[in-house]
Amino acid sequence: MAVAQTDIFADRLRALHPEMETEVRMIATTGDKVRDRPLASLGGFGAFVKELDNKIVAGEIDCSVNSLKDMPVACTPGTRIVAVMARGPVEDVLISDVPLDELPEGAVVGTSSVRRKALLLHMRPDLKVVDLRGNVPTRVNKMRSGQFGAILLARAGLDRLGISCGHFVLDPTLFVPAVGQGAIAISCAERSPYAEALSDLNHTETRLCVEMERYILAGLGGGCSVPIGIWAVKELDEVRVRGVVLREDGSKAFRLDRSIGDKRPKEGLDDYVHDMKEGWEGLS
């Protein structure tokens, strides 16, 4: 996935700035090297992104390309998100021979996401959800080999890797995506001489929506260790925000669907955070 997304970025940058010399350098983070342990045991949410950020600060690389959903809401000091590219598909997909409601009782479903696990158990508490790590092809191969009855992945990953396999797209209004899902973010040093050129890849509408999602997530104090989904979509002069927060076991969920206008967006976002917090506290 990292290679595919970096190629998308590099091709776009070269098209916009053919005069720039571009070198792609692949860097293996701890997450790439260790695939048999839960993310929390490897430093938690954003740990691998920070490894790349540290190389930016050290001057070893000029920018990094990341899935925005994997990035913490607070940037590493000395770095900033200079561009968010046009968003791809936001949905999650179930790779399975049958749709979610037709999976056999007790079927084993693989995912490494606490959000996906909680949403699955909320909809199908009879399922057995187990941790599944590795790159997308590895996960798909494990499914095909019969190790799992189904697995959950981001639709954007399948599309960007060109993987064709039987799957069912989950309704994002119910199976609410992770913050920033489907978006590619470019980070660079705060005073990078390449910032202006890199910012040409920024997609205004995508940036607006994902920044609202990240603002809400920051207000809730969440990361990938908390089952939270936030999805913002521009609709004329408003942004419609759908959110869900769940107990980890999926036994309870709180949802909030609200439109926030352009005139006083911060006030609307603060109200949204307040109401989500109240709903979250009500789950305990």
Cα(104)–Cα(236) distance, rounded to whole angstroms?
Answer: 42
For 200, the token pair is 């040409």
Choice among 7, 70, 131, 237 that is catalytic: 70
The single residue listed with the structure tokens 């869900």 is 244
Residue 1 · residue 160 · CB < 8 Å: yes
Find where tokens 């890797």 sit.
161
**CA distances from residue 243 to 124, 201, 283 in whole angstroms, order as listed:** 20, 28, 15
Q: Is residue 67 within 8 Å of 184, Cβ to Cβ?
A: yes
Q: Which two tokens stand for residue 142?
A: 């494990």
Kindly state the greatest CA–CA separation across the chain. 58
What is the amino acid identity at position 68? L
Q: Do residues 112 and 92 touch, judged by C-beta distance below 8 A?
A: no
Partners of 244 in beta bridges: 229, 255
Active site residue 70: yes
* 100: phi then psi, degrees, rounded to nearest 5: -55, -45
Please give the positions annotated as active site. 70
